[in-house]
Amino acid sequence: MNILATLLVATGAIYLFEQGGLKRWHVILVFMAGGCIVEGNWFALAVCVTAYRYCQSPTVLRLSSFMASLVVLGLFINANQWAFAVLPVILIAPYVRISLKRQRHLFYWFYPAHLAVILLARISIGIY
């Protein structure tokens, strides 16, 4: 599965958690079942969920859980240290307020456009 499936499962888990009550118990099922099939396993889901919770209400415990998930994902699962490039963004995000008008169809043109830019960049440097 790709990153979009990971984001789907993480969003579903966050949504259920935010609903409260008995639906919070469904988070465990979504998290465990989804972690079996997505890219990055449970650690990718943990990075998404802990980043969301930290940005909601920044505490040392939430930051520590995010960092632990990111370290395991970046060093042991993906073996890619570029995951740590997100740290400055996550540390600053809770303190920055940006009000944007909702653009319903932005993703539908942005996603293919950014893939086209990446393809053109790869072609221009001879990596195809």
Q: Which of 13, 8, 50 is nearest to 31 (CA)?
A: 13
SS3 percent helix, strand, coil of the chain, rounded to 5, is 80, 0, 20
Which pLDDT does position 1 carry in this prediction?
54
Which pLDDT does position 10 carry in this prediction?
92
CA 59 to chain centroid: 19
Beta strands in 3-88 (DSSP E): none
CA distances to 5, 37, 85 from 8, rounded to whole Å, are 5, 12, 22
Which residue type, as a one-letter code, is found at position 92? I
* Number of neighbours of residue 76 by Cβ within 10 angstroms: 9
Matching residue, tokens 């943990």: 46
Which pLDDT does position 39 carry in this prediction?
79
Q: What is the mean pLDDT of each run of 10 residues along the chain (128 residues)?
A: 83 90 84 85 89 90 91 82 84 85 84 92 86
